[in-house]
Amino acid sequence: MNEERMQRLLTLATSGFLIVFCLAPFVFMAVISLSGSPEFLSGQTAFNATFGHYRAIITTPSLHFIDYLRNSLAVSAVSAAVSTLIAALAAYSLTRLELPGRVLILFLILCVTMFPQISLIGFLFKLMTWLGWINTYGALIFPYVAWVLPLSVWILVSYFAQLPRELDKAALIDGCTRWQILRKVIAPVALPGILSTALLSFIFAFNEFMFALLFTTDHRARTVPVGIALFQGLHGEIPWGNIMAASIVSIVPLLILAVAFQRHIIQGLTRGAVKG
Amino acid sequence: MILTLAGLTKMFSSLRGDILAVDDVSLVIHDRELFVLLGPSGCGKSTILNLIAGLERPTTGEIRFDDVIVASGRRKVFLSPKERNVAMVFQSYALYPHLSVFENIAFPLRIGKQGATGVEETVGEVAAMLEISDLLRARPAELSGGQRQRVAIARAIVRHPKVFLLDEPLSNLDARLRLAMRGELKNLQRRLGITTVYVTHDQVEAMSLADRIAVVRQGRIEQVGTPDELYNKPANPFVATFIGSPAINLLETAFAEENGVFFVVVGDQKLRMPDEKSEELRRLSRNVCLLGIRPEHIHLDRLDRRLSGQRLKGRVRAVEPLGRETILHLEIDDSRLTAMTSGGELKQGDTIEVDLDLKRAHIFEVPAQGPRARQ
Amino acid sequence: MRGHTLSELREGYSFMLPLIVFLGCFVLLPVVGTFVTSVYQDVTFLERKFILFQNYRRLIGDADFWRALRFTLLFVAVSVPLEMLLGLSFALLLNQSVPLRGLLRCCVLIPWAIPAAISGRTWELIYNYNYGLANFLLARFGLSDEPINWLGSSAGAFASVVLSDAWKTTPFIAIILLAGLSVIPSELYRQAKVDGANFLYRFYRITVPLLKPTIIVALLFRTIDALRIFDLIYVLTHGGPGGATTSLSLYGYRYFLVGDFGYGSSISVTLFVIALVLALIYVRLSRWSTELT
């Protein structure tokens, strides 16, 4: 049939476009990271395959790449863990306890996801300065937790709301306190939801840029996105090979997470959004 | 243990207004009794169960376990389910999907007292009683509906509760399994001797299980009694219709007294009422009544010798053969009746003679018409 | 109220307490603080002074502010529709039972997972005048005689930002729309096929109307997100050339960076209000569309 063939052709073309569109910059990043001379596309130099950039960023302490990576991983992991825990508590109370004001709180949370980051940063900068937290993990972790919380709560509310109420009733009858119900029944049963919430929070925290840019001043707290954004060479020219190698190394953990937990992430993202 | 509900009321408030889910319910449930709350869905029977369990708080009224007040609207007493030591089986079973069968049954023991000893033996005993010893390592998802049901019951009785509460426990099972479990549940209840409250919308289940039944409708109790009493002496048309299948025939008929003898009008024909019904008819406020006649009390064999001589002319509208018996839908002038017979020789359109066993008829007041028929 | 006792309320709210504390201290309080600061002259090393609307009056006369505002709105107006179209076509593709669908889904997640600041550096290299991939491909396929000065011209920089942003955010739209598509019952399509409706007709009569609520949600999220664009521009163009791609976020950030908190705050408040207004419009729109159907 004519229509079917056309549709198949269209599908094939879109698939091809999707793959090229999504992967090309990533592949280019990888290629440059392995090239001794990033100008090779101009035709004046050869490709010169090398692992030198990877070696450089890992073994040169003055580049601080390993520091950035450690900071990013630590800050994102702690933020994700704390925000998921807080979100789980809140989501349990929002879905189960029918407290007065819960609709208001859900609405407020939805509003917060719309806030521009710039409208927080002036006050937060002063706050962090006043606390003496500038250039420490605390300056990032606290705002990050608050920043990813609305999303985490939203996702977990949609997961928890799905679990049958009779589970709670059974646990109450069996003698659980509310806290025990959350810890021993709801959390284990909603584990996939909690996992996707934690993953998304981690990725969001890892992606964050503006807070990290303003609240950190050097390698003691600076995260990878800021580190890479500000990566400069010693003599003015941009060290493309090093930047690309650093980019690859720092996004590999993210990509592994994204691919391995593809289903969870997609589910979490759509729950965070479609339910709105 | 004796379970007393006194003037129990539960009001739910929502944005759309207040809903009176339980309306002034008073009951005394005897020690070791299997008591059934029967009613259509949404009638408030599950709310009553939740109030007994301590999952809901009464708006007014009191609940007593023997002499202990476990909940009181007025005195602000409210014991948690744990403090009341109740057990409950849910329609969906509500097994913990992440725990093995063993851990599911052990759950109330482990929560109850930290590091309880003898958990394994206790779980083993209960599992043996319910014949699920070989399933202890399985997860709930791997079990059949009937097996899940047994696990839910095992989890409920493992703590030796004071009251055993069951909320539609059999409605998720298929028909055959339901029948088997019904018998087993009754045996188990007898053996354990625990005061039990059982909620169902299925009148057959209620009749076969219960020591006594309370029929609930729109938050109120319509009648309390043994299955026999409810069937043979229904207090009102609702109870009469709700119990018995096929449902009772309710005919709105005029009646008149002539020389101390009462006559009712069915279709276009006048029938003499037996003398023992006169008292009941005389008590009615108007000259109309609802005449309730169960399908099995309508005789229609053409040659039946038991007929009382007051025959009505009728026509067969439809025949539903069920095997052992046959349900007949009859038309007598403009009244429609359902009858049950063992003979299967009648066909649609046959004209027959019908005899109503008026000695066994129920007489009710015609409820007031209009929107406030019954709140 | 369902007749909670005091202790139940205390327990219930204690579950919510950490959330309220974190949101209060690190989101709500800062927003309020920004509103307050915006009516002060608040510059580092200077005395804080209440000046009411003078910061806003300064905004009105600030040509750079207007350019940033114009760029931001233009960016939203161009990038969001483009990303919606791309995202919708990806979603339609991923909703079909094509071979390697799992692989395609993974591909889609890659741009989403990479931080914009990191991919921004790669885009910077791609747009490089002398040895970037973009000009190499243009020359290779004979599409342009001259290499394009991507980041050095206003139009080129704008196009670069839009394209890079589309790469990063299209996947998010695709994933959300995919979720909306997957709940449309396939019987509808089969029925329409039986009735002889062709592909386009099915798309306009089944897919679009049923997907509309999801589309509006995706639009809302994307619009708000595009409105506050910062990371990509900071890395890719630094707001240049000559301020041509300076977004409101970046413009405000610069003032915070130099310590002019009062003026920076008034810029932030402006952006906040614009986001709020747009969000309200979308909410209206979605209510309106659900009332119609």
User: Which of B202, B222, B242 is the endpoint of a domain?
Assistant: B242
Mean pLDDT of B184-192: 91
The whole-angstrom separation of Cα A114 and Cα C220 is 9
The domain covering A65-270 belongs, at the CATH homologous superfamily level, to MetI-like (1.10.3720.10)
Distances in whole angstroms, Cα of residue C263 to Cα of each of C41, C52, C56, C198, C269? 7, 12, 8, 57, 10
Please indicate, yes or no, if residue C54 is contained in any of the structural domains: no
In a domain, C31, yes or no: no
Domains contained in chain B, number: 2
Whether C1 and B57 lie within 8 Å, measured CB to CB: no
The answer to whether C220 touches C38, Cβ cutoff 8 Å, is no
Q: Residue C241: is the preceding peptide bond cis (ω within 30°)?
A: yes
* Residue C2 included in any domain: no
Q: Which one of B242, B264, B296 terminates a domain?
A: B242
The torsion defined by the Cα of A147, A151, A157 and A163, in degrees rounded to 10, comes to -130
Residue C26 in any domain: the answer is: no
- What is the rounded distance in angstroms from the CA atom of residue B375 to the CA atom of residue C12? 35
CB contact under 8 A, B13 and C5: no
Are B40 and B141 part of one and the same domain? yes
Q: Give the range of the structural domain holding residue B339, as residue numbers without chain letter.
A: 249-365
Quick one: B126 and B255 in the same domain?
no
Establish if B111 touches chain A: CB-CB under 8 angstroms: yes
Per-residue model confidence as pLDDT tens for chain C (293 residues): 345 567 777 888 889 999 999 999 999 999 999 999 888 888 877 778 888 888 898 888 888 999 999 999 999 999 999 999 999 988 888 888 777 778 888 888 889 999 999 999 899 888 887 777 887 888 778 777 777 788 888 888 999 999 999 999 998 899 889 888 888 888 888 888 788 777 778 788 888 888 888 888 889 889 999 999 999 999 998 887 888 899 999 999 999 998 889 899 999 999 999 999 998 888 888 777 666 55
Backbone angles phi, psi at A140, to 5 degrees: -95, -45
B130, B200: one domain: yes
Can you name the residues that pair with B68 across neighbouring β-strands?
B65
Q: If you compute the radius of gyration of chain B from its CA atoms, what whole number of angstroms results?
A: 25
Looking at residue B286, which CATH number applies to its domain?
2.40.50.140
Q: In CATH, what number is assigned to the domain containing residue C122?
A: 1.10.3720.10
Tell me, what DSSP letter sits at residue B44?
S
Q: How many domains does chain C have?
A: 1
Inside any domain, residue B373? no
> Is C147 a domain residue?
yes
Q: Which domain holds residue C84?
A: 63-292
Residue B137 has pLDDT above 70, yes or no: yes
Chains contacting chain C through 3 or more C-beta pairs under 8 A: A, B
**Is residue C241 assigned to a domain?**
yes
Do residues B238 and B255 share a domain?
no
In a domain, residue C96? The reply is yes
The per-residue pLDDT for A276 is 39
> Per the CB < 8 Å rule, is A170 touching B91?
no
For residue B98, give the nearest of A166, A172, A188 by CB distance: A188
Chain A CB contacts of C160 under 8 Å are none
Residues B227 and B280 in one domain: no
Residue B198: name the closest of B187, B184, B185 by CA. Answer: B185
Same domain, B254 and B282: yes
Give the DSSP letter of residue B35: E
Distances (CA, A) of B226 to A245, B209, B215: 83, 11, 11
Main-chain dihedrals φ then ψ at residue C246, nearest 5 degrees: -80, 120
With both helix axes pointing from N to C terminus, report the angle between C154-182 and C116-126 in degrees, rounded to the nearest 10: 130
Cα separation, C218 vs C172, whole angstroms? 9
Contacts of residue A188 in chain B, CB cutoff 8 Å?
96, 98
Any chain C CB within 8 A of the CB of A34?
no
* pTM score of the predicted model: 0.86
Same domain, B257 and B233: no
Closest CA to B286 of B203, B364, B371: B364
User: Do both B262 and B218 map to the same domain?
Assistant: no
**What amino acid is encoded at B169 in this protein?**
P
Give the pairing type, strands B298-299 and B60-65. unpaired
Same domain for B222 and B99? yes
| Inter-chain residue contact C130 with A11, CB threshold 8 Å | no
- Decide which of B207, B223, B242 is a domain's last residue: B242
ipTM: 0.89
In b/e form, how buried is each residue of B350-374, taking b as 16+ CB within 10 angstroms?
A: eebebbbbbeebbbbeeeeeeeeee
Domain match, B92 and B139 both: yes
Contact of B343 with B326, CB cutoff 8 Å: yes
Hey, where are the domains in chain A? 1-50, 65-270
Chain C environment of A118 (Cβ under 8 Å): 228, 230, 248-249, 252-253, 267-268, 271
Question: What was the pLDDT predicted at C1?
Answer: 35
Burial of B204 (C-beta count, 10 Å sphere; 0-12/13-18/19+): middle
* Chain B contact set for C3 (CB, 8 A): 57, 59
Which amino acid, one-letter code, is at B164? Answer: F
Give the domain CATH number at B105: 3.40.50.300
pLDDT tens track for B74-92? 777 888 888 899 999 998 8
What are the backbone dihedrals phi and psi of residue A112, each rounded to the nearest 5 degrees, phi first?
-60, -35
CA atoms A93, A95, A96, A100: torsion sign: positive
Q: Looking at the domain assignment, is residue C230 inside a domain? A: yes
| B31 & B157 share domain | yes
